[in-house]
Amino acid sequence: MPNIVIVGDRDSGKTTFLALLYAAQVKSGSDRADDFRFHVAFESLDEISGVFQQVMSGNFPDSAAKEGIRGITFHLGYRKSGFGILARLRSRGWTPGAPASLRFVLLRNLEDEMDRFRKGSSLTNAMLRDVLESDAIAILVDGRKLVLADEDRQLGAMGKYDSAVEALLAAMQGSRGRGSRRSLHAIFVFTKFDSVDPKVLHAANLEAAPPEMKKTGPRAAYADALLDHNLPNTMARVRARQNRGATFTTPSYFFSWVRTDAASPGRRERIRLRRSDGGGWEPDYSKDEYLGLLECFWEIARDAGK
Ligand SMILES: Nc1nc2c(ncn2[C@@H]2O[C@H](COP(=O)(O)OP(=O)(O)OP(=O)(O)O)[C@@H](O)[C@H]2O)c(=O)[nH]1
Ligand SMILES: [Mg+2]
């Protein structure tokens, strides 16, 4: 089964991201439920449905829900090749086929994990073995922690995160061994993009919103302008041609945001709700980005299954 590892710093929006991914998936499958199968592994079912219910009612995951989720299995129905989910939603043309499974492994405490790995006492952790053998890595980048100046990055959380991610990528490549033909995919997901510092975007000469998904060139340039500065070691690793070990394919980029209502005395910040297409309410979030991301996962599952 193809594995995708999801990494993110503490408080970077990991749980919210998984809940919104689940929401996008449930939603896109609801009109043709039989074609689009989605399951969550038994051990994480409670947690994922808990956080799902929370975001569906406008709450960020609470601290009780934050701790549980570690691994999630999606079973994905296949679409006809060249027929994306966005097109499918428009036209309703959907070819049922054998479902593929995709397992997500959520790696938290990345820095501690990589410290241990560097000291050689790793792989006692079964999770880390799954991680090293993954086909893809989704790297969450906290939009609120993006900075302008090099000193800020080195002193702040981003610098440490950058080294930890870079170390993990190196380990994933190394564990593939020489001449491995399976490709490695890197997917960058900017979280909390609704609250990225406008000064940071301005300094990088960027618009407030990223170019739309189908404009892959400008979109990559937009993301790279932020990533090259904030995750320089990670980006160098992703781009490097390897003479041994696996090489990364061209990265994909997605942007996650929600609309919020500010906290008031006695009330936490809330996710704003909007009417959904099929009636009812859903969180006001970057749904197209999540559908694009699901599509990207499908492609990885399909390639890995070949
Ligand atoms: N404005 C805004 N805030 C967000 C967004 N996503 C997460 N947050 C805020 O970030 C907090 C942490 O989000 P979580 O999803 O719990 O983050 P996490 O990485 O799972 O946190 P830990 O499991 O504690 O490491 C939330 O309580 C929100 O306050 C977003 O898209 N927009
Ligand atoms: Mg969490």
The verdict on the CB of residue 31 being under 6 Å from ligand 1 is no
Q: What is the pLDDT of residues 96-117, one digit of tens each?
A: 445 566 777 777 778 887 887 7
Q: For position 230, what pLDDT does the model report?
A: 94
* pTM for this predicted structure: 0.89
Report yes or no: 58 and 283 within 8 Å, Cβ to Cβ: yes
Q: What is the pLDDT of residues 214-270, one digit of tens each?
A: 999 999 999 999 999 999 999 999 998 766 667 899 999 999 999 999 999 988 899
Element at 155 (helix H, strand E):
helix 150-155
CA distance linking residue 15 with residue 237, whole number of Å? 26
Structural domain spans, the chain: 3-305
Candidate of 48, 192, 195, 256 to mutate for ligand 1, largest count of ligand atoms within 8 Å of Cβ: 192
Distance 262 CA to ligand 2 centre (A): 21
Residue nearest to atom 14 of ligand 1 (CA): 13
User: 83 falls in which pLDDT band (50, 70, 90)?
Assistant: very low
**Packing angle, helices 287-305 and 14-29, rounded to 10:** 80
Residue 55 has pLDDT above 70, yes or no: yes
Q: For position 34, what pLDDT does the model report?
A: 36
Residue nearest to atom 28 of ligand 1 (CA): 60
Q: For position 149, what pLDDT does the model report?
A: 78
Q: Within 13 Å and on the Cβ side, how many CA atoms surround 258?
A: 23
Q: Write out the residues surrounding ion ligand 2, Cβ under 5 A.
A: 14-15, 66
Residue nearest to atom 10 of ligand 1 (CA): 13
Structure tokens at 189: 């997901």
| pLDDT averaged over every residue in the chain | 81
User: 146 falls in which pLDDT band (50, 70, 90)?
Assistant: very high
Lowest mean pLDDT among 68-77, 196-205, 258-267: 68-77
- Calculate Rg over the CA atoms of the chain: 19
The verdict on the CB of residue 260 being under 6 Å from ligand 1 is yes
91 vs 216: which has the higher pLDDT: 216
* Contacts made by residues 154-161, CB under 8 angstroms, sequence distance 24+: 157/9, 158/230, 158/231, 160/111, 161/9, 161/110, 161/111, 161/231
